[in-house]
Structures are given as structure tokens and as C-alpha cells.
Structure 1
Amino acid sequence: MRHTLGTLGRVLAGLGLAVGLAFAGPGAVPAASADSGSLQQVSSFGSNPGNLAMYEYAPAGLATGRPLVVALHGCTQTATDYYNDSGWTKYADLWGFAVVFPQTSSANNSLSCFSWFDSTKDTRGKGEAASVKSMVDTAVAQYGSDRSRVYVTGLSAGAGMAADLLADYPDVFAGGAIDSGLPAQCATTQSAASSCQTSSQNLSPAQWGDKVRNSDPGWTGPWPRVAIWQGTSDYTVYPVNATELRDQWTDVWGISQTASATATLTGGTTQSSYNDANGKPAVELFSISGMGHGLAVNPGSGTDQCGATGAYFLNTICSSYWTAKFWGLDGTGSGGGTGTGLPAPAGLTVGSVTDTSAALSWQSVSGAASYAVYRDGGRVGTTTGTGYTDTGLTAGTGYSWTVAAVDSSGNVGAQSATVTATTTGGYTAQCFTASNWNHVQAGRAHDSGGYAYANGSNQNMGLDNVFYSHTLKETAPGYYVIADSGC
């Protein structure tokens, strides 16, 4: 199946991300007041050549000097969809920042896609890009946001626009996240969009980097720190786009395309970090095994869980949590924290593992009064020694840990390298290879509109017939993911 983000006939099946609500219709929210604690619309925000609508959210009582995040929805979605399902408001409440949700409409694009492929709309000072810049200026003035900590993220067409905005306004955005999206300025016309989505453009890292550098000529840095999210079974925006994004932004940073470190996270996610000259992650690539086209969410009450599942909100891992941590919105500093001078503990290892616990140990750090222990990015404990047993875990589940030294004033240093382990027991995964029709008949998938979707993950498997086949992996009772690359 081949679809184009921005062309009605091709986008509808592949990018029809969640059935969109009417643009600013009867349910539109009223004009915003500062620190409202709910989603609000801002009716006037200055120059708006892109004909966009501005929505925003801020926790009640938000202090000045806090970060600001801009979050762009996908095609057929609205600001309300992204507000409800992406998980960003959870971390706005938890860590204290405001979120702007720009919204486009069918008046701009037949499927309400942001125009990432139109050079009259996605370049500095023009169209939708200029409208988003106006929103940033308005929100910064309203909330007293820290201009050095403004970030942009988006899904699919919104991700393509987010990449363009990072290139257009490196003086505005300190970081970005591109979820199931495309490199900055991959296409400059709508007719070129399909090729960007589905195939390699055969450009060198330097050529990709030039597309960013040419978007704001004369800018020499600092460059935004960029997180890239991609499912390996995305047949709308193909995984080659993640490789091209990595090439683009590592070249802009002048760093290697070889990962400085890798880690295994939940949801079949591999995290690859590309460090700058100071050893701090400048680019991170999160590749999610078997995930199709959409935003990675993981509903639940845990610190590292967020969002709501639905069409193109896929239950794998909370991407918003890991993105916010990468930007340093949790207070530890970008890329896991630069700390206060205390070095990262060395030699972190996992010892004895049971179905509910894991024993950790590491080497001592001079000047440390205690150590903070993090599981899957969230702080779970503190100890004065160089060992800690993490309890209350779920059987048969993979976890990751880091530790950081804490000085006598409570300042947290840099986090250690990540270690991973899987608890014993739990469900034994099974794999099934069959046609889409047989998967549906066997209850491993379901039909919707003539297409087969894996039960649980809701991944699009293609047409529901005997001519399309997949391997499905049952990772939990009744929960299936596409595992064509190996099981």
C-alpha cells in the first residue's frame, strides 16, 4: 500500500490517523486564560499566514521561567485528539511546563495535514511555519516561558512539519521530536511527497545536513537536540526515513552516524544515542520492533506510562515520556542529565533476578552522599550504599536501570550507562504465520473497512484476504504485534 501525506486519494487509508473532529466547530473551547489547567483556544496570536488555530494547555499555577512544548497532530486529527491521547499533558502537570497544540483544517489541506511538503508554507517566515512561530511568541509572553527551553514535536505530517520548524528556527527551538515522520525539507512540492515517504532519496549525510543549514542561512548553532521515533513495520512512512533523519541531524551536529550507545527499552524499543563532543546525546533514535504507523503510547499510572490508545495511537512505549527526558524536562538535564559535577557511577550491573525483583550494584563515586536509582527512566529509590534491590516488578517483563550520585545538598549528578534485564516467569510468547484472512478467522486480528488489524496492538496488516500474510507474535494473552522480521 502506498499513500501520500497530503493527497486525499492516497492518504485516506495509510495516514488516516484518527478520525478527526470538525475544525474549531461547535465544541471549540473558549479563549485561554493563563494557567487554566484545561485545553483552551487562543483566538488571536498575531500574524497567522498559515491559517492555523492555536490551542494551549498549562497546569494551574504554572510558574514563570518554565519550558514550552509545541505538539503537532497528524492528518485527520485535531488539537483535541493530540491533547487527549498523546500523553503530553501528564508530563506538563508532573514536571511543570506549558504545551501549545497548533491545529490545521480541511481549508488548508483536504485531510487536515500540516503542509510539510510545500515550500511556500513550511519555510522560515512563511505560511504555517510562521503561524507556529507566532504561537510560540504568544505563549512565551503569556506564561513567561524560558525562551532557551522551547521544543517542538509532532506525529506523521505533524512530524514532518516539526522537522521543518527545527531547520527553519534553530534560534527558537532547543530540541525536537519527529514521530513517524520525515527529514526536514525532504519534499518541496506535493508531487515529491510520496517518494519521501516510501523510498530512500539516496542522499549523503552532508546533503541531508545542507537541507537544514540552507533553511536558515548564516546560523552556526547551537543546533536543536533531536529525538527520532520509528516503527519497523510502518508502511506509510517507511523506516528509511528514520535513517535519513539520523543522517541529517548527526551531520548538522558534526558527529558520527555510528551510535555512541544503545539500550533496550520496553515495548520492543531500541534506543540509539549519538553524543556530541561533550559526551551528551545530541540525537537519539528510538526504533520500535513491529510497530506500524502512529505515535507510541503506553496507557497506565506509572511515571513512564502515558496516553490513550486509538487509531494511530499505538500501545508500545510512552514516547512522550522518553522525549521529555531527552530534552531534560524532568529536571535531570538533556539526554539524561548533566548533573552538578558528580560523575556517573561506573560498573552498574544486574545480579540476582526473580519474578518480582532485581539486585543492582555499582562502583562508588567520590563526594556522593547517596545514590538515586532509576527504572525505565523514572526514579524509584535512593540508597547510601552501592547496591539496591528493586522490588515490585512484573514477571516476564524487561526493565532498564540507571543510577546517579547525589551530593550532600541533594544535587543529582550524571546518570550511569543503562543496564537491562527481564524478570523470570510470566507469559511465554508465541508466534503465528498465516494469511491476514486466517489471522482474522483465528481471532488474532480483526477486520475494519476491509483491512486486517492485529488484536491488541491494532497494527495495520494490510488487506484482509489470503494474498497478504504476516507473522504475529502474541506477547501477552490476546495481544499481538507484527513480527515479520523475526520471532
Structure 2
Amino acid sequence: MPLRPTAAALFTAAVLALGTAAPGAAAASDTVPTLPSAAATAAASGSFQQVTGFGTNPGNLAMYTYTPAGLPSGAPLVVALHGCVQSATDYYRSSGWTKFADQYGFAVVFPQTSSVNNSLSCFSWFDAGKAARGVGEARSVVEMVTKAESLYGSDARRVFVTGLSAGGGMAADLLADYPDVFAGGAIDSGLPAHCAATQAAASGCQNSDQGLTPAQWGDKVRATYPGYTGPWPRVAIWQGTADTVVRPVNATELRDQWTNVQGVGRQPTGTRSLPGGTTQELYADASGKPAVAVFTISGMGHGLAVHPGSGADQCGATGAYFLDTICSGYYTAQFWGLDGGSGPTNPGLPAPTGLTASATAGSIALGWQAVSGAASYQVFRNGGQVGTTTGTTFTDTGLAAGTTYGYTVAAVDGSGTVGARSAAVTATTPGGGAPQCFTASNYDQVLAGRATQSGGLTFALGSGQSMGLWNTFVTHTLKQTGPGFYMLADGQC
């Protein structure tokens, strides 16, 4: 009989995960790379240097900046936060942000934490005493913004923050803490704002669905600056589907959080395919201006998406946590409007209406109203595309008995641009009897064959939903909806 893992051992492994090398990435060094001296380091058309004496520094951070040659007053400012076991130098060299600083004309601040603050040089996104408004590392970063505005004459209305992994978690916290400072943000392989308030809760955020409603996620943002009534930042979310360090569920939770804060729906108002196996989903406000964007990169592990090269949409250098897929900086800069535009427009045709679903044994027939200008339609089951048709009907076959499925449809124009998805409908195939539910510890769910475990974590068989740590102290309910297919059903059975 296998040994039962202890909660303490699995917790330790999970917390250290943010310092574990991403699949396919080079091994990270155990020490923080040497940073440049206070003297400016020459670059192709600008300079990278340390700035000292930038103000109150309760977070014990260092400030580095990159400024293009001849940067005019009134230019935007970008704050770029490195990931664990990285440094400001790493991010300056490999993230690609300096290319667009030169091209579009803005300054970049690279905050630097160290092993003095955290053994893995992670920003403390999970510590309420360091990541809240007016305290700790969050306060130090905002002091850097004020210093940069003074040094470079940056436009205080166009300040943006981005970060990777733990830096992404801190970026999300900063967007919530200081919506009066940041006009937009990008969270790369990161976590929802204020998902955790203690280090003990950090691993749960990294690995598990927290079970919160969009309103509850939004409340975490609104609670950080009570009484704030101004505009909220525009948020881009980047996530790899094969990330085992910060699970993809975090991107879903980030989407739920920021669409709720922005007051927009959770159905995309526009979808398109980008290079590197990337899908972009836009969530527009009532005026049609995208407020949230989700970029999902198929097959990418944990890291920042870069794409080295000299092309307009290429940037960065590969290395530990810098993964060659797509230049995230290029599309993020466009989303923020740093290229001189107003950001992406909501592309594509309107959502089809009148979607209906009718189930028979093993299949579900769909029908909807035609959309003017549509060349074809894409059909999605439970969020994933299952077919394309030029007509307004589609039959999904080979389905399990006694199982409920959800569907949406999107129109595709003649250029191949995918429009907004329809409202969802559900249908249940007949037969199979009532779904069975099983409540047990994660350890016993695995022993019973209803879940699997990998790296000390548990996943529902079939659906692959994350259940958290593999031990006897975490309990979930699983519902069997088909042969060898189980879904989380806590509180539903």
C-alpha cells in the first residue's frame, strides 16, 4: 500500500512550484544574476540603469529603468515585474519590452526583489502585508512610478504594469490596489488579484479552482480601495494550456474577476487566432471597447511568451521562463494602445441568436438564426470547438448517455475572423440513469480510480479538473457524468 502523503510535505512542494523550471525551459540558476551598477548600461538606442533614492521603500526593492534615446516628455510608462529566480536584468534582456519602448516611445521600470525578501526572489503577491495599497512591495512599486514620472516626465494617465508568474500575481494586486495609478495591466502566467492573503494559501491558488463566483472575485478588487469610483484598468491575461506551475484555471478566474469589475459579460465579444497556437478572446464594454483580453497559448508551459526575431511581431530572447511561442509584449502593447492606436477594436460579426438544442440517444441537434455576412459558423461544446458548418444547423454525435452538454455558436466572416459567441444552451442526452456522486478525500478518490495524482496534486478522471493536494485532509465531491468521466460537484449532490 502506498504511503499517504502528508499535508505539510505536499504544501511545501506546491509553494516551491513557482520556482520550478517550466517544461522545455532551461534550468534556472540558484542565485540571482548580478545586476548592473548605478552607471547606465548601453543599449542599442537607450540606457538601462539603477535609480536609487526613489522614495519610501517599505518593500525593500531596487529600481531599474530603461529609457529610449530622446524620449520626449509626456510619454507612457510601463512597469515590468520579473518572475521567481529572475532579476530585473533578466527581464530587461529577454522580455522584449525594450524593443517596443524604442519603437513606440515609452520608459520601462524594472522593479527588483531578491532572496532577502523571498528565498526564490519572488514578489510577495500572497502576503497581505506586502501587496496591499499603501504597504510593502506594492507601495515601493508606486514610489518608483512617481520617481519615473519626475525623472522622465511620463504621462501619469498612461502608466501600465505587467508581470510574469509571481510578478503577474503582484501586477494583478497592483491593478486592484492602485486603479488610480495604472491605466492597464497584463498578467502573464499569473494569478487573480488578492487570491491569497498568506503564504499558506498560495499553493491552493496556484493549483486549484477556488470556487468563487465572479462577484466574489470582483469584491476582492473592490475591497482594496473602498469608495473608488474612477475607471478600472484595462487587463490582458496570458496563459499556457500546459502550465503545471500556475494552472490554467487561474486565467478563468482572472477573466471572471476583471469582467465583473468592468461590468462586462463573460461571453467573448470577439475571438481570433494568433500565431503560436494562440487564441485571443476580447470582452468589450457597452461602447464596444475591449476592457479585458484573454490570450490562451496551446501547449505552452509556465513562462512568458516571447518570439525572438526581427519581425514586427517578434521580440525577446529564450531562456528559463522565456518560451518561444508568440511575442506577448507586441499584442499587449497594442491592447493598451501604446502603438498610437486606441487598442483593439471588437472584431467580427455579432453573436448568432435563437440557438436551440435537441437531444436524442448519443447526439444533440443544434439550430440558430442566420447572421448577415457569415461565411461559416463555429460550434463550441463546453467551451471547446467541435465543428464548423456553412449552414445554421449542426448535429454533435458520439455523446455519452445521460450527460449534460453546453453549446455556443459564433459566426465567421469571409476573412476568417471569428465573431462573438452566442448565449449558451444546454441539453442532456437520454439514458444512463441518474449521475452518481462520490464524496471522499482526494487520497481515497485516487485509490477508487475516480481521480489521478501527479506531483502531489489530484485531478478528476476524465475532466482533468484540479482538486488540490493529494492527501487525506482535502475532501471533494465528484459526479460521474459518463464512463470514466468525473466532474467536481461540491455542494451539488
TM-score, normalised via structure 2 length: 0.66
Aligned counterpart in structure 2 of residue 75 of structure 1, from 56, 60, 84 = 84
List aligned pairs for 1:202-217, cutoff 5 A. Answer: 202-217=211-226
Q: Counterpart in 2 of 1:238? A: 247
Cross-structure match for 2:188: 179
Q: Give the Cα–Cα distance (whole angstroms) in 1 for the partners of residues 12 and 229 of structure 2.
A: 31
Report the equivalent of 1:148.
157
**Displacement, 1:33?**
11
Give the drift of 1:336.
4.7
Instruction: Report the count of equivalent residues.
Output: 349
Aligned residues of 1:17 and 1:76 also touching (Cα < 8 A): no
**Corresponding residue for residue 227 of structure 2:** 218
- SS of 1:191's equivalent in the other structure is helix
Matched, 1:30 2:50: no
CA deviation string 1:371-395 (max 9, x = no partner): xxxxxxxxxxxxxxxxxxxxxxxxx
> C-alpha offsets along residues 435-457 of structure 1, whole Å, 9 cap, x if unaligned?
xxxxxxxxxxxxxxxxxxxxxxx
Counting only pairs closer than 5 Å after superposition, residues 102-117 of structure 1 correspond to structure 2 as: 102-117=111-126
Cα distance in 2 for residues equivalent to 1:307 and 1:208: 33
Partner of 1:375 in structure 2? Answer: none
Whole-angstrom CA distance in 1 between matches of 2:277 and 2:343: 23
Whole-Å separation in 1 of the counterparts to 2:415 and 2:166: 35
Task: Classify the secondary structure of the residue corresponding to 1:320.
Answer: helix
- Give, in whole Å, the separation in 1 of the partners of 2:307 and 2:91: 14
Residues in 2 aligned to 1:68 and 1:147: alpha-carbon distance in whole angstroms: 8
Offset at residue 345 of structure 1 (A): 11
DSSP 3-state at the match of 1:56 = strand
Work out whether residues 31 and 43 of structure 1, in 8 Å CA contact, stay in contact via their aligned partners in 2: no
Question: Partner residue of 1:333?
Answer: 342
- C-alpha spacing 1:81/1:50, structure 2 compared with 1 (3 Å): same
Cα pair 1:263 1:270 within 8 Å, conserved:
yes
Cα displacement (A) at 1:6? 10
**1:318 and 2:331 matched:** no
Partner amino acid, structure 2, of 1:85: S
Distance 1:247 1:346 in 2: 23
Deviation for aligned residue 1:240: 0.3
Contact preservation (8 Å) 2:218, 2:261: yes
Structure 1 unaligned runs (5+)?
A: 338-343, 348-362, 364-416, 422-461, 464-487
**In the alignment, which residue of structure 2 is the partner of 1:61?**
70
Q: Which residue of 1 aligns with 2:459?
A: none
The alpha-carbon deviation at position 43 of structure 1 amounts to: 1.6
Q: Does 1:13 align with 2:20?
A: yes
8 A Cα contact 2:133 2:224, kept in partner = yes
The residue identity in structure 2 corresponding to 1:277 is: A
Secondary structure, counterpart of 1:130 in structure 2: helix
Residue 269 (1) aligns with residue 290 (2): no
1:291 aligns with 2:327: no
Change (3 A) 1:252 1:283: same
Distance 2:210 2:227 in 1: 26
Aligned residue identity for 2:37: V
C-alpha deviation, 1:333, in angstroms: 1.2
Give the conservation status (yes or no) of the 8 Å contact 1:72–1:102: yes
CA contact (8 A) 1:226 1:282 kept: yes
Secondary structure of the residue aligned to 1:274 is: strand
138 and 23 in structure 1: CA distance in 2 versus 1, 3 angstrom threshold: farther
Alignment of structure 1 residues 421-460 onto 2, 5 Å? none
The aligned amino acid for 1:255 is V
- What amino acid does structure 1 have at the position aligned with 2:286? A
Deviation for aligned residue 1:131: 0.2
Query: Judging changes above 3 Å, is the alpha-carbon distance between structure 1 residues 219 and 292 closer, same or farther for their aligned structure 2 residues?
Result: same
> Secondary structure of 1:58's partner?
strand
For 2:196 and 2:181, locate their aligned partners in 1 and report how far apart those are by CA, in whole Å.
Answer: 23
> What is the percentage of aligned positions where both structures have the same residue?
65
Alpha-carbon shift at residue 7 of structure 1 (Å)? 7.4
User: Displacement of 1:34 after TM fit?
Assistant: 13
Question: Following the alignment from structure 1 to structure 2, what is the Cα–Cα distance between the partners of residues 237 and 266?
Answer: 22
* Separation in 1, partners of 2:13, 2:343: 33
Q: In structure 2, what is the Cα distance between the partners aligned to 1:310 and 1:4?
A: 28
For residue 68 of structure 2, give the secondary structure of its aligned residue in structure 1: coil
Q: In structure 1, how many angstroms separate the alpha carbons of the residues matched to 2:216 and 2:203?
A: 20
| Compared CA separation, residues 10 and 334, structure 1 to 2 (3 A) | closer
Q: State the shift of 1:37 in Å.
A: 1.3
Correspondence 1:110-129 to 2 at 5 A: 110-129=119-138
Deviations 1:22-78 (CA, angstroms, capped at 9, x unpaired): 5585x5221569998121001210000000000000101100000000000000000
Query: What SS does the corresponding residue of 1:38 show, helix, strand or coil?
Result: strand
- Structure number with higher relative contact order (C-alpha < 8 Å, ≥ 6 residues apart): 2
Answer yes or no: is the 8 Å Cα contact 1:5–1:11 preserved in 2.
no
The equivalent of 1:135 in structure 2 is 144
CA drift at 1:237: 0.3
Q: What secondary structure does 1:80 align onto?
A: helix
Residue pair 1:17, 1:294 contacting (<8 A) in 2 also: no
Is residue 161 of structure 1 aligned with residue 166 of structure 2? Answer: no
Change in 2 beyond 3 A, CA 1:96/1:292: same
Structure 2 CA distance for aligned equivalents of residues 308 and 258 of structure 1: 34
